[in-house]
Amino acid sequence: MRLIFTFVLLISVALIPLTTHASSSEQRAHVPTVPENMELLSSIDEIAALYNSEQCGECHEEIYEQWKHSGKSRSFSSERVLQAWRTFIKQGLEREPRTDWDGSEIN
């Protein structure tokens, strides 16, 4: 009897994620949109110039002061690392469009 109870309990626990996934899949994920008055950036260098760590330090002064002298603050400073990220992003932008389960295009 204990074996049957354990088996039923394990099956029930295994099926719970399936039922919650079915109800959540009906809701579409939020897709952020770009405001019309915002200019799109065309290169990684423009993004890096616009969003640098010094801007973060304006609001997060204490954490920024601790962080700026650590090795992590220089992790993207070598040309090799920057080139690897450029290649990664460029290849991602050039890939063929993919489709979701319902046939809609995934950007």
Q: How confident is the model at residue 86 (pLDDT cuts 50, 70, 90)?
A: confident
Domain that holds residue 50: 42-70
- The verdict on pTM exceeding 0.75 is no
The verdict on residue 52 lying in a domain is yes
Residue 7: inside a domain: no
SS3 annotation, 31-77? CCCCCCCCCCCCCHHHHHHHCCHHHHHHHCHHHHHHHCCCHHHHCCC
Domain count, the chain: 1
Is the residue at 51 inside a domain? Answer: yes
Q: What is the pLDDT at residue 11?
A: 74
CA angle centred on 79, ends 76 and 80, rounded to 5°? 90
> Which residue has better confidence, 70 or 94?
70
| pLDDT tens sequence across 14-57 | 666 655 554 554 556 666 566 677 677 777 777 777 777 777 88
The answer to whether residue 62 is domain-embedded is yes
**36 domain-assigned:** no
Place of tokens 């801007």: 55
Is position 55 within any domain? Answer: yes
pLDDT at 62: 92
